[in-house]
Structures are given as C-alpha cells and as structure tokens.
A and B are shown apart, each in its own frame.
Chain A
Amino acid sequence: MAARALLLASLVLSCFLLPACYGTVLFSSLQRTLEVTASPTSGQVLKGGVDKITVTWGLNQTVAAGTDSTYKTIKVKLCYAPISQVDRGWRKTVDNLKKDRTCQHKIVARPYNAANSTAQSHEWTVERDVPTATYFVRAYAYDADEKVVAYGQTTDARKTTNLFRVQAISGRHVTMDTCSICFSVFSVVSLFGFFYNEKRKAKRPQ
C-alpha cells in the first residue's frame, strides 16, 4: 500500500512540475492601462459556434509614456460576469491570479510591440465549448517572464456594465437521439422477447 501511494504520488508530482513557476501576482496590484472593446452590445446574445466577436485592444493613450515598455504579450480572454459566478465555485474570482478562475476561455494571444501604438484587433468565432453564461472581455499584458503586469476590460471595475450573453450549443444531435432510442428499445424488446420465449418453451409438452 505504501509503495503504491509513493509511486502514485511521484507520478502525479512529476506531472505537476510545470516549467513555468509564477510568482504570486495579485489582480488588485495591476494597473488598468489597456483599452479593450468588443463588438457585442450590452445584453446581446451570441450563439456558440456561429456568431463572432471582434475584439480591439491597445494602450490607453492617457497613461504616461513608457508604461508599456515591459509588455511583451497580450492575451485576450472571455471572462464570466458576476451573475454567472453565483453558486459556481469553479468560476470564482480570487485576487491571486494563479488561483483566479474568472477568465477561462482564451480568445487570442498576440505579441505586443511598444513602438507600434496602433490598436490591434481580432475576429473570433465563439467556440462550441463555451457554456451559456454572461460574459465580458479582458486583456492581460505579460512581460518577458510571463508575469501579468497590466490589464484592460470591456466592463467597469464592478463588472456590471456592457455585459453580453452567449447561448451555447446543446451538444445534442438527431443521430445521437435516434441511436439512444434504438438501443433502449432493443434492450427492452430483447428482455421481454427472451422472457416470453422461455415461458413458451417451458409450457411446451416435453
């Protein structure tokens, strides 16, 4: 038992040793220096797998020059609004970014060039594994060490304005439903078929 536990523990530990080991970055310590806009209007409902979101991001022109000198990559993510986090601990907002679960869906990641100050944009089709919920868009700026240094989002600080909804695919198909029904019928019919067949054989004179 102990050997098995040790083996399992070392196996799991080796999976756990990820190359990147982030220092603790708190969301509250980040500066909101990026300007992010997304195409969905407030309250709009987008269909999973079908509708598209165009995201535009760039440095906020009002911040001091040189603030973005450390930014190397921008990652834009789809994030859950507070209403979709209620009673769902797996989407909880936590200040420690390593444990934060607010933004679980990546839209795009692009390298950032401080010299080129024009806003970048990207058109993204809402993927089919995005669940039905209310969202906003947030962009994180990473430095060369893959540490988060700044952010920007389409909503306000309390995450109440400019939220949009996604209506996910159901995951059901007609083929699947048909197969389901067929197999169920087969199960019931073969059971009763067997039963009556055996009863008939038992009744037949020997």
Chain B
Amino acid sequence: MGDIEGSPGSSMHGVTGKEQTFAFSVASPTVPTDTTANFALPVDSEHKAKVFKIFSFANPHMRTFHLSWISFFTCFVSTFAAAPLVPIIRDNLNLTKSDIGNAGVASVSGSIFSRLVMGAVCDLLGPRYGCAFLIMLSAPTVFCMSFVNSAGGYLAVRFMIGFSLATFVSCQYWMSTMFNSKIIGLVNGTAAGWGNMGGGATQLVMPLVYELIKRAGSTSFSAWRIAFFFPGWLHVITGIMVLTLGQDLPDGNLGALKKKGDVAKDKFSKVLWYAVTNYRTWIFVLLYGYSMGVELSTDNVIAEYFYDRFDLKLHTAGVIAATFGMANLVARPFGGYSSDVAARYFGMRGRLWVLWILQTLGGVFCIWLGRANSLPLAVTAMILFSLGAQAACGATFGIIPFISRRSLGIISGLTGAGGNFGSGLTQLVFFSSSSLSTAAGLSWMGVMICGCTLPVALVYFPQWGGMFFPASKDIVKSTEESYYASEWSEEEKQKGMHQQSLKFAENSRSERGNRIAAAPTPPSTTPNRV
C-alpha cells in the first residue's frame, strides 16, 4: 500500500477532492470492510473508520474525533482569552495601543514555529502524547497570566500561550490514524472548523466569567486575572481526558508508530523542493493569510472595537464578538460545500471562482464594517464578513489537495503557517498604531483582502484551466497524469514511486467539471502496475 504513517503529507493522502463535503461514509465496494474487526463503526483493513457519525462517542474512532477537536478548541479559547478582556487589562497594565497590537501579533506568531515542530513531535511520541504534552505544558503559561505586571510580560505570556495552537497538527494527524482517507477531508475540516469556534466562544465566556468573579466581590483588576484560571483548567482537564480516554491507534496504544518498510520513505528535501517551487503554493499561502489570517486578527480586535466605538458593556461586546467566531460552525463547511458544487459543474475553474467570490465578498463586508456608524449595521457587516472569510477558508482547502500530491502535507502546513503570518502582519500594520483608528484599520484590512485575493486569477492548471483561461489544448500537458507525474524524476518513476500520484491523477479527473467524457488518453503514460 505504501502509505507510511507520519511521512510528510500522509495525513491527507487519499483525499481526492471527489468526496462531497457532506459525504459521511465510504461505501463498501469502494473500500472493503474488515468484517473480523469488532468496532462500533465499520472499519477498513487498517481498522480505520469508514463512517463518520458525528454525535457518537464510540471508542476509539469517534472518541478520538471529539477529544481532538475539543483539545484544539481549548487552545483557541486560551489563545484569544485576553481579547475580550483587553478594556480591563489595558487599564491595569497601563498599555498603549501599540502594546496591545504587538501582543496580538505575538499571540498568533508563536504557533508558526510550534506547528512546524509538532509534526516531528507526533512522529516521535504519537499524536495522543503530542497533544497531551502540548496542552498540559502550555497550561502553566495560561496560569502565568495572573502574574503579569507590564506590557512586556503581557506580550511574553500571550506569545507562549499562542504555541498551543499547534494542536491543530496533532488533531489532524490523530484523525488520519483513525479515519479512512476517503472521509478524512470531511473529518479534518469539521474538526478544524469546530476548533476555530473556540476563538468565538472565548469572547462570550471570558467576560461572563469576569462578571461572575466581580459579583463574588473581586476588584476588576483581580477579576480578569482570576478569569484566566478558567482556560487554564480547561487545558488541564482536556489534557487528562486525552491521556485517559484517548488512544493512538484503533487497535490500542503503541509505544511507537511502526513505519511500514515496504516502500522507501520519501525524502523530505524533495518533498519540500516540490512544495516550494510550485508557484501555486505561494499564492495560496498569501490567500489563506487573508482569509484565516484576517479571521484571527479580527478575533483579537473585534470585542475591543465594539466596546469602544459603540459604548457597549463588556459582555455585550463579547456576545457580538462571539458571533464572529462561532459562525465557523456553518461557514467553513459551507465554503467547502460550495467549492464542491462548483466543481461538479465547472471543475477546478469553478472552485477558483468560488474562492475568489467568497473571499472578495468577505473583504467588501470588512470595508463596510469599518465604516458602519450604527450598531445594527456594524453587526450585520461583521456577520457577513465572517461568513465570507470563513467560507473562503473552507474553499481554500477544497483546492489545496490538488496543487500537489507528493508535497500535500507540506503545502497544507505552509498554507496554515501563512494564515498565522497574515494575521500577525495585518495586526502589525493596521491595529498597532494610534495614527490609524481601529475602524479605519478594519476598512483598510478589507481593501487589502480584496487586493490580496486577486492573485488567485494567476493560478493555472494546464489540465483544468484557471479563472480566465481554459485548459491547455496540448495533448500531453492537458492530462492530470502529466501534471502529477511531473513531480517525480525519471529515476523515481523507474522505481515506481509515483504510482500513488497516478492513482490520484485518475481520481482527480472530476475536476474537469462536465467535460469528463472528453479526456484523451496520452500516449506516454506509464501503465499502472497491478
């Protein structure tokens, strides 16, 4: 089979893009069920689940799903826990606007590095311990918030808490060990979306916890510090749940994930090379920085914005800010779904157009948000902006699996890092200086979203076309096989290392849209070995 556990990109292997966003199961003839296994869900030959039953907690598959997304959710809660309390924190610590902005940048920057390391950690310790280690070792950083006395301390603690966002990697990795590759796209997408909701939930919960503590008799400057014990305990509790209830593999916990020795592991340097030299990678890194990136930035600034601009109470501002993040529940899957629907009729060109439309609309509503002078208009603009940006995130990952088959994991990782980088950059440029009001910052961020989404027009797949150009007429170049096989050198092709890519290429013919019947068979394709 040749799919090595833990090798770069292996968590996304098998994702063809053909699966509907709402495909909840894999039919039996497609992937044979192992009838000797005794699990609550039908499983394949590796004992990975073939069915995704959202509301089940059956051990081990669905339990893993829930532990995974809850741990990712917890880390989002703690990373953005300071955001709705900034109006109190800024008075207690005597912060200036640039202090607040820099801390916001720091909160999303740490995870750029921690996500890169997390893959290796999961390889070494397994996803269960990877997740537990990260969550429980970052719990002290959350508790540290109560010690903070200055702007520098505030920035340092937010930076350290931000490392915990690497649970995204352990989350996706863990689920790739539990779910069949044909439904892994949906499973991972749902987990990512529900995890992201933590950024919204925290805006709602932290002000409430703060109010409760104040009602119990604390001063405001103590209450916000005590409020941080809530995300801290969440870390500890979730970590213990992961350790006691979770397991690495469907068949139990192993000391080490065995590496299947049939096929030589792909060289990291090659995989990196093909990721980095594909121009589409960088276009999507930029784009994701302006869909996911602006979502993270907005999570950091929106509560304070509503509190200051419209004179709201802290928890009212929190409720409004929460709806921004909570829209992830439906918006992100909706983006993936629209991408799939467009692909059915127009193939990859449809996916590119859907992404451009969703992300640009998000940008337009962001411009409106900054300019809205009345509360109802601002809330409406914010909700529409959130739908646009988050749906664009979902639509982006509808396209990413097709950029490369060999380097898929690294490209996904780079794109994710681009999201955090974009967030840090927008916060630095638009929300850290007093010369630009937050309202103006939001509008300019919207303009930048629209501008940075334009490069999607440059994405061109010879076999499928781009936004403005149809597929190539060249008989060799216009095949999926030639595109995906071009990532392998002749030597590697001789060794047969590109077989998975060819299989993927065949499955990806659906990206032609309604023109599937017209695919010519190129003469030089290496015949598939049986």
Contact = CB atoms under 8 A, between A and B. Distances in A.
Contact of A184 (B143, B220, B224, B323): B143
Interface in B57-89: 87
Nearest to B327: A1
Given A88-B97, A129-B219, A170-B92, 18 more contacts: A5-B383, A8-B379, A9-B380, A12-B316, A16-B310, A86-B96, A87-B434, A90-B87, A128-B219, A170-B221, A173-B222, A176-B146, A180-B144, A184-B143, A187-B137, A187-B236, A191-B132, A194-B132
Contacts of A1: 383, 387
Given A16-B375, A187-B236, A89 B221 contact: no
A86 B310 CA distance: 21
Given A5-B383, A86-B96, A184-B140, A171 B224 contact: yes
29 contacts: A1-B387, A5-B380, A8-B323, A8-B379, A12-B320, A12-B379, A16-B375, A49-B219, A87-B96, A87-B97, A87-B98, A88-B97, A89-B308, A89-B434, A89-B437, A129-B219, A133-B94, A168-B221, A171-B219, A171-B220, A171-B222, A172-B146, A180-B229, A183-B229, A187-B137, A187-B236, A187-B239, A188-B140, A190-B240
A191 B140 contact: no
Contacts of B240: 190
Interface residues of B, number: 52
Interface string A67-99: 000000000000000000011111000000000
Interface residues of A, number: 44
A202 B253 CA distance: 10
B139 interface: yes
Interface of B: 87, 90-92, 94, 96-98, 129, 132-133, 136-137, 139-140, 143-144, 146-147, 149, 219-222, 224-226, 229, 232-233, 235-236, 239-240, 243, 253, 255, 308, 310, 316, 320, 323, 375-376, 379-380, 383-384, 387, 434, 437-438
A146 interface: no
A179 B97 contact: no
Contacts of B90: 88, 90
A interface SS class: helix
B34 to A, nearest CB: 25
Contacts of A169: 219, 221
Contacts of A176: 146, 222, 225-226
Interface in A141-188: 168-173, 176-177, 179-181, 183-184, 186-188
A15 B97 contact: no
Interface of A: 1, 4-5, 8-10, 12-13, 15-16, 49, 86-90, 128-129, 131-133, 168-173, 176-177, 179-181, 183-184, 186-188, 190-191, 194-195, 198-199, 202
Contacts of A86: 96, 434
A167 B376 CA distance: 39
Given A5-B379, A16-B375, A191-B239, A129 B220 contact: yes
A89 B97 contact: yes
Contacts, number: 126
A86 to B, nearest CB: 7
Nearest to A129: B220
Contacts of A8: 320, 323, 379, 383
Contacts of B136: 187-188, 190-191
B334 to A, nearest CB: 10
A191 B437 contact: no
Nearest to B220: A129
Contacts of A9: 376, 379-380
A190 B238 CA distance: 13
